[in-house]
Amino acid sequence: YTQLLFSCQFSDSAGYVGFANLPNQVHRKSVKKGFEFTLMVVGESGLGKSTLINSLFLTDLYPERYIPGAAEKIERTVQIEASTVEIEERGVKLRLTVVDTPGYGDAINSQDCFKTIIQYIDNQFERYLHDESGLNRRHIIDNRVHCCFYFISPFGHGLKPLDVEFMKALHGKVNIVPVIAKADTLTLKERERLKRRVLDEISEHGIRIYQLPDADSDEDEEFKEQTRVLKASFTPNFIPFAVIGSNQLIEVKGKKIRGRLYPWGVVEVENPEHNDFLKLRTMLVTHMQDLQEVTQDLHYENFRSERLKRTGK
Amino acid sequence: AGPVESKNEAAMSELVPESRQKPVVPMKPTGINANLLGYIGIDTIIEQMRKKTMKTGFDFNIMVVGQSGLGKSTLVNTLFKSQVSRKSSGWNREEKIPKTVEIKAIGHVIEEGGVKMKLTVIDTPGFGDQINNENCWEPIEKYINEQYEKFLKEEVNIARKKRIPDTRVHCCLYFISPTGHSLRPLDLEFMKHLSKVVNIIPVIAKADTMTLEEKTEFKQRVRKELEVNGIEFYPQKEFDEDLEDKTENDKIRQESMPFAVVGSDKEYQVNGKRVLGRKTPWGIIEVENLTHCEFALLRDFVIRTHLQDLKEVTHNIHYETYRAKRLNDNGGLPPMTVETEENHESNL
Closest chain A residue by Cα to residue B177? A155
Beta sheet of B283-286, edge-to-edge order? B267-270, B273-280, B283-286
Among residues B137, B113, B98, which one has the least CA distance to residue B51?
B113
pLDDT tens sequence across B159-204: 888 888 999 999 999 999 999 999 999 999 999 999 999 999 999 9
Closest chain B residue by Cα to residue A156? B69
Q: Is A69 on the interface with B (CB under 8 A)?
A: yes
* Amino acid at site A291: L
Q: Is A62 on the interface with B (CB under 8 A)?
A: no
Closest chain B residue by Cα to residue A193? B90
Among residues A198, A222, A200, A209, which one has the least CA distance to residue A167?
A209
How many independent structural domains does chain B possess?
Answer: 1
Question: Domain limits of chain A?
Answer: 31-63+70-242+272-312
Confidence check: pLDDT of B94 > 60: no
What confidence score (pLDDT) does residue B64 get? Answer: 96
Question: What contacts A259, CB < 8 A, 6 or more positions away?
Answer: A246, A248, A250, A252, A266, A267, A268, A269
Counting as low any pLDDT under 70, the low residues of chain A are 1-15, 30, 61, 63-64, 214-224, 226-238, 312-313
Secondary element (H or E) of residue B293: none
| Whether A22 contacts A81, CB under 8 Å | no
Q: Is B281 on the interface with A (CB under 8 A)?
A: yes
**Within a domain: B20:** no
**Within a domain: B140:** yes
- Kindly state the DSSP code that residue A249 receives in the 8-state scheme: E
**Within a domain: B79:** yes
Q: ipTM value, please give it.
A: 0.81
**Within a domain: B182:** yes
What confidence score (pLDDT) does residue B6 get? Answer: 40
Question: Would the CB atoms of A158 and B286 count as touching at under 8 Å?
Answer: no
Which of A70, A165, A184 lies closest to B209 in CB terms?
A184
At B12, the pLDDT band (50, 70, 90 cuts) reads: very low
Please state whether the peptide bond connecting residue B258 to the residue before it is cis, i.e. omega within 30 degrees of 0: yes
Confidence check: pLDDT of B343 > 70: no
Share of chain B above pLDDT 90, in %: 60
Confidence check: pLDDT of B3 > 80: no
C-alpha distance from B267 to closest chain A C-alpha (Å): 14
Q: Identify all chain B residues contacting A112, using CB atoms and an 8 Å cutoff.
A: none
Q: Would you say the C-alpha torsion A28, A33, A34, A35 has a positive or negative sign?
A: negative
C-alpha distance from A32 to closest chain B C-alpha (Å): 42
Q: Are strands B58-65 and B115-123 parallel, antiparallel or unpaired?
A: parallel
Domain that holds residue B323: 56-85+98-262+293-329
Reduced to 3 states, what is the DSSP secondary structure of residue B211? coil
pLDDT tens sequence across B195-246: 999 999 999 999 999 999 999 999 999 999 999 999 999 999 988 888 998 9
For domain A31-63+70-242+272-312, the question of CATH label 3.40.50.300 is answered with yes
Closest chain A residue by Cα to residue B88? A157
Reduced to 3 states, what is the DSSP secondary structure of residue B330? coil
